[in-house]
A and B are shown apart, each in its own frame.
Chain A
Amino acid sequence: MSPAAGGRSESQSLVAPAALYVAAWALGGWLLAGAARGADAPMLQPLFHLAAIVGAVLFLVFDLSTRVADPRSGLRSRLIGVFRQLGDGDLIRTAELARALDGDLAAGVARAVAGLASRVERLQANSHSVAGAAEGVERGSTVLAASSAQQAAAAGEVTAAMEELSRTAAEISEHAERQNQLVLTAESEGAAGAEAVAEAVEGVGAVERRIADVTARADTLGTRSREIFRVLELISDIAQETHLLSLNAALEASAAGGRGRRFAVVAGEVRVLAERVRDSVASVRSQIEEFASAIRSTVVATEEGGKEAARVLEEARAATGALGILRASLRESSEAARQISSVTRQQTSATEEVLSTLRELHQVVERMSRDLSQLSATSGRLRSIGLDLELLAQTFRLDSPRSLKRLVHAWAARLPEAPASAGASAQELIDELVGAAPFVECGCIVDARGRVVATQIARELRESGAEALAELRRRDLSDRAWFKKASEGSRAVVTPPETSLMSGEPCIMVAVARRDAAGLPVAVVEFDVNVRHWTEIGE
């Protein structure tokens, strides 16, 4: 129980309410600022309500205290006591004290207290909602992150496959292009070859024509020489006749005796002439025969040459035919290569489209990933806001299963006045208390000097934490913040998260001092709630 504020003078009775009033608005302002740091507006309404109610209540305080400046110091001091408890946040105690007031006042204060309590509870509910929403967001963002990671991986695979396909298509295209080049080269060489063959054929044709020419000339020469032979025959005959004539003339001349001498001379000259003609004829004949023989052998050789040329021509024509077939098949091959090239180019452009779509997808996924990490950070902040709201709500002692201060008070009430001597019963008590509150991680009872009397941890941690527990039993906890604060007064304290000696994790520590009838502290009861489990408080 808090000591009554009996020492206050009348003059201070006006200052104190004003100070409270200012403090209330400061608190309201702090809450608003805190809310401004946080998330969506719907969650802030209870805060605004709270600030307004607190302000109104304290205005009421101010108003009442100026009006109620009467000699009835009993009512005044009772009111002061009520509002002091209210100011400390102990709504249970406030309600108890309010019942001692008169009629309207009691009802008014009771209504205010009830309203405040209900708003605090709503605040707690909202903080749970905020935490639940944060958890939902986190779960959702984890799922999204996982699926976007999967998508990214799948997209990555598809991209890799498409790039591979693209490379392969490019290779095929290059290959087909090279093939086409080769074919074009072969084609041009084939064309050159065909030209060469055509020239050869032309050349052979020219040779054949020459040969035909020569043969024709040879024929002509043969005919001419036969004609010449006939003429020679004729001349030969004439020469013979002339010879006979000369002989007969010589005979006549000899028969004529002396008178025939001159005639005989002439006859002799004629005979000589005839002989010369005969010799010439023989010579010409032999020349012509030589000539004719030469022509004949030339014709034979030429005919042989002609056959050879015809054979070459035949071969050349066959070669031309084969070349033609080859060139046709080369053209087919070239056409096929061109088609392949065109198809692979189409393929490449289609692949490019797919790749560019995939890249866009990748960018979308990356953006989503960034958004998700922001979302994650936001949900972390939401959780932290939720925890802040909860801790704010826990500063009040309410008649509610969710009020930690109420709980620790209940535990302390069950302690005997001398727990250090109670020994085993203290341990039983702490075992029962820890077992009954699943959100409690660890509980302990220490004496007034801070030495551990009894301690226990949550069932699921008993195996892993046995050693730490044994360690804890031996410790002196007088330096702990909760011990010091609890020992200062008779109020329960709720500390912001500290590192637990038990688990090494951040825990909210709730403690209260048990005092004897004389008001001296005999023990401090304390329990830890792991920050991870704060949403289970009261379940």
Chain B
Amino acid sequence: MTTTPYLLVRVGERVAALPALAVRRVVRGARLHPLPGAGPGLVGLAEFAGEPLAVLDLAQLLGEERRNSRPPVTVVTWLGSGSDRELVGLGVDDAIEVIELDPAALALGQALVGGRPVVVVDVERLGVEA
């Protein structure tokens, strides 16, 4: 069978897997400008390749409470699909590694990696609230 590369990231206590093909770049120590009045998921605005980049808290998107106001690692990734694709930054605690996963895991929404449960994030379906 064919496998698909995923990027494993740590979000709080959990490990999440993001489709590698959607990830543009992993960046550490990006400067985040906070936007007052912004929604809870929005951590701030960063700059990437000369363009502003909205950085979201992946932990909140996965339903966890915001713990870290400044996630150290930003995963620059395409959210959505097709022409609605948008480049955003996902704030995570750490980027671990790129691994190959069975695509069926995408449908399940989780997989076992090294015995540990991993949340597979479907970035195409992930909605963005502005």
| Residues of A participating in the B interface, judged by any CB pair closer than 8 Å | 240-241, 243-244, 247-248, 250-251, 254-255, 264, 267-268, 271
Contact = CB atoms under 8 A, between A and B. Distances in A.
Contacts of A255: 20-21
B27 interface: yes
Contact of A244 (B5, B20, B24, B27): B27
A141 B97 CA distance: 151
Given A254-B5, A254-B20, A247 B28 contact: no
B97 A240 contact: no
A416 B5 CA distance: 207
B7 A247 contact: yes
Contacts of A247: 7, 26, 95, 97-98
Nearest to A250: B98
Nearest to B18: A251
A271 B94 CA distance: 14
B87 to A, nearest CB: 14
Nearest to B4: A254
B95 to A, nearest CB: 5
Interface string B81-120: 0000000000000010110000000000000000000000
B55 interface: no
A254 B95 contact: no
- Sorted nearest first, the 8 A-B pairs with minimum C-beta distance are A254-B5, A250-B98, A254-B20, A247-B26, A251-B23, A247-B95, A244-B26, A251-B20
B25 interface: yes
A40 B97 CA distance: 164
A248 B5 contact: no
A248 B26 contact: yes
13 contacts: A243-B95, A244-B27, A244-B28, A247-B97, A247-B98, A248-B25, A248-B26, A254-B5, A254-B21, A255-B20, A267-B98, A268-B97, A271-B97
Interface residues of B, number: 14
A240 B27 CA distance: 11
Nearest to B99: A250
Nearest to B19: A254
A251 B25 contact: yes
A250 B25 contact: no
Contacts of B95: 243-244, 247
User: For B20, B28, B97, B98, which residue has the most chain A Cβ atoms within 10 angstroms?
Assistant: B98
A58 B103 CA distance: 208
Contacts of A267: 98
A448 to B, nearest CB: 188
Contacts of B25: 248, 251
A406 B39 CA distance: 193
A270 to B, nearest CB: 11
Contacts of A250: 5, 20, 97-98
A240 B20 contact: no
A426 to B, nearest CB: 183
A248 B27 CA distance: 9
A251 B28 contact: no
A143 to B, nearest CB: 142
A340 B65 CA distance: 103
Interface in B1-35: 5, 7, 20-21, 23-28
A271 B96 CA distance: 9
Contacts of B73: 244
Nearest to A245: B26
Nearest to B20: A254
Contacts of A240: 28
A237 to B, nearest CB: 9
